[in-house]
């Protein structure tokens, strides 16, 4: 199993670590360096006139942090909230944002050579927000360029498209 992750192996230059998560029935992954923490979903304070995928804000140890539900934004799966619903807190630039996902599964190491370009269709996300695709255990994983996605005008999370480091 060549694609199997070897935990002991240190990450070399061509390798990057990703956190895989599930939206609906698809497997996604995002750069683990952007992850601040992972926590259960808790009720948020709604914000008036925000689009439906912006669930609201919550208190993360004194910081007021917005929570967005990518399932609603990209119409994948059902936006249900139960005790298994997970929020991944991301650190994008110097801003914190939480994304709601169905499940967090694994940390994988992906070699740059193993990333194939994403197709133009068939994926819920615009290919502009993707690093590409990779296969682990014969399972397709979509590598999301989460920094680009979160700071995109499409999500409209920030005023006048803040300059956030691109991954």
Partner 1 sequence: MSVDMSQFFGVFFEESQEHLDTMEHLLMEMSLDDPDPEDLNSIFRAAHSIKGGSGVFGFDALTGLTHVMENILDLARKEKLIITRPIVDQLLITIDRLKIILDCYQSEEAIDWDAIQKEIVALEALLGPKGGANSDDEVIDEGFGLFDTVVSGDDDDFGFFDALDEPPAREEKSYGFYETDEGESKSQTSEPEELDELAYALSDDDFGFFDDEPDASPIIENTTDKKTNQETLVSTQPDAKTTVQPSSPAANKNVASAHAKTVPDKSDSAAKKPKIDAKESSSIRVDTMKIDSLVNLVGELVITQSMIKIVGRDVHGEVEEKLEGAIGELSRNIREIQEAVMSMRMLPMSFAFNRFPRVVRDLAGKLEKEVDLVIEGGATEIDKGMIEKLVDPLTHLIRNSVDHGIEMPNIRAAKGKPRNGTVVLNAEQRGSSIIISITDDGAGLNREKILAKAMQNGLPVNHDTPDAQVWPLIFEAGFSTAEAVTDVSGRGVGMDVVRRNIESIGGAIDIQSAHEKGSVFRIRLPLTLAIVDGMCVSVTDQTFIIPLTNIIESIQPSKAQIKTIGNEQLLWVRGEYWPLLALHELMDIEGANTDPSTAIVVLVETARKRFGLLIDALEGQQQVVIKSLEQHYKRVPGVAGATIMGDGGVALILDIESIAAVVTIPNQTELTHAG
What residues make contact with partner 1 under the rule CB under 8 A? 43-50, 56-59, 62-66, 95-97, 157-159
> Between 63 and 165, whose beta carbon lies closer to partner 1?
63
CA atoms within 13 A on the CB side of 32: 14
> Between 55 and 109, whose beta carbon lies closer to partner 1?
55
Contacts of 19 (CB under 8 A, 6+ apart): 29, 30, 31, 32, 35, 88, 104, 106, 107
Neighbours of 81 (CB within 10 A): 13
Q: 87 near 103, Cβ under 8 Å? A: no
Minimum separation from the CB atom of position 157 to partner 1 (A): 7
Minimum separation from the CB atom of position 107 to partner 1 (A): 25
> Between 1 and 48, whose beta carbon lies closer to partner 1?
48
Strand boundaries in 41-165, DSSP class E: 54-60, 63-69, 86-92, 95-101, 103-111, 130-136, 139-144
Minimum separation from the CB atom of position 73 to partner 1 (A): 15
Minimum separation from the CB atom of position 28 to partner 1 (A): 22
> Between 65 and 110, whose beta carbon lies closer to partner 1?
65
């Amino acid at each position: 199993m060549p694609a199997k992750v070897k935990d002991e192996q240190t990450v070399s230059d061509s390798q990057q670590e990703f956190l895989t998560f599930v939206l609906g029935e698809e497997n996604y992954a995002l750069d683990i360096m952007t992850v601040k923490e992972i926590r259960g979903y808790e009720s948020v304070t709604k914000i008036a006139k925000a689009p439906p995928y912006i669930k609201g804000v919550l208190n993360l140890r004194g910081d007021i942090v917005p929570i967005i539900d990518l399932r609603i934004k990209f119409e994948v799966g059902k936006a249900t909230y139960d005790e298994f619903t997970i929020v991944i807190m991301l650190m994008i630039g110097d801003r914190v944002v939480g994304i709601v996902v169905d499940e967090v599964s694994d940390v994988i190491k992906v070699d740059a050579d193993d990333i194939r370009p994403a197709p133009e269709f068939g994926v819920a996300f615009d290919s502009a927000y993707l690093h590409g695709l990779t296969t682990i255990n014969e399972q397709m994983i979509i590598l999301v360029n989460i920094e680009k996605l979160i700071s995109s005008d499409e999500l409209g999370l920030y005023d006048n498209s803040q300059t956030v480091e691109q991954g």
